Amino acid sequence: MQISSWDEIERDLKLGVFLITVAAQSLIGDRSKPAKAFGKAALGAGLREDEPAMAQADEIEDVLDFDVTTTHFHQVARLCFDFVNDRTPLDQLDVGDLQSDTLNWMTYFLSAIPHDEYATQLGVHSSRFIEHADKGGEFPLPGLHLAASAKANLVEFLQSFPGELEHGIGFAPYEIAAMAGMNIASVRNFIGPAGNKPIRSMPSKDSTGVYGQPLDTLQWLAGRRNFNPGPLSSDWLHQVADRVETPEQTGAMIGIYAWTNRITTEMLADRSSLPVELIAGWTRGELTTTEDAAAIAEAAGVDPEFYTDLVARCGGVTARI
């Protein structure tokens, strides 16, 4: 995942809070005592008390003296930034508050920024706060929001496995782009319904969009340089083993573990001395033998005995012991 630096994000935070402050002061009378108090609370010591905020910044550089660290907007952005950069194993992250609260606040604050230049000419830069999820080229704050949302959805998929897989829930193109650190227009070139592209697309339930098939998505992401959401620990394997029941789930489990840890299908094939086609088929439930299971497990950094026992239990007639 590739997001802007915190300095770049904080620069836009100051601009966004400034635009909100100008609107709020204009609403209640920009020279009134409540307006001055609001401005001071939002923009800190950098705001002079003798004139309204709109009169104190004509260029983006002028907002850099403001201090917005006490605002909820700043706190929410910092939570998202720290989450995206957190290298705690994905299976150990708690995304409940992030998904139910933090990301919604980020959406709210981004949408609260005025997009008119009447009160301040800096309104011309308000497009920096609009998400372009279908077009790419995200600015720092919308890009941070999309990256945090994508990582949270990845965590949810991993922690609920095999539930999400069984329900046919995949990853939206903007999520794939955010996790790959790529422009969404470039990512769309790798997604298609016919099976002739790396990621098969699936229609959304309301048929208004498409999702990338989750196994295809993770297999493709494993080879992307900027795919680095954090590791998946071996504890995850033992947590999901009790829920795995079918050959498809057993094969997908080893693939997901390897790909999330940035071990590609080609690397698994090279380390196990097995054909790439066999590895790809295995991760889709085409299990062969427990000897192959042991080789694939070792290639993925998984205890071979643990995995072969799972294959023997869930592999059915396709696993020749």
Using CA atoms, how far residue 171 sits from 146, 155, 192, 315, in Å, is 12, 12, 13, 27
Closest CA to 299 of 267, 259, 252, 260: 267
DSSP for residue 191? E
Cα(1)–Cα(3) distance, integer angstroms: 7
pLDDT at 205 over 80: no
Question: pLDDT band at 208, cuts 50/70/90?
Answer: low
Cα(148)–Cα(136) distance, integer angstroms: 16
| Full DSSP string of 230-262 | ----HHHHHHHHTT--SHHHHHHHHHHHHHHTT
Mean pLDDT to the nearest integer, 308-321: 74
pLDDT at 294 over 50: yes
Domain boundary assignment for the chain:
1-231, 234-318
In the numeric block, the tokens 């072969």 are attached to 308
* Strand-pair partners of 147: none
Amino acid at 89: P
Helix-helix angle 6-28:103-112, to 10 degrees: 60
Cα(21)–Cα(36) distance, integer angstroms: 10
Q: Does domain 234-318 match CATH 3.40.50.300? A: no
pLDDT at 277 over 50: yes
Cα(133)–Cα(185) distance, integer angstroms: 10
The percent of residues in the chain predicted with pLDDT above 70, rounded, is 94
* Residues sharing a CB contact under 8 Å with residue 148, sequence separation 6 or more, in sequence order: 80, 83, 84, 98, 102, 103, 106
Peptide bond connecting 142 to the previous residue in cis, omega within 30 degrees of 0: no
Against a cut of 0.85, is the pTM above it?
A: yes
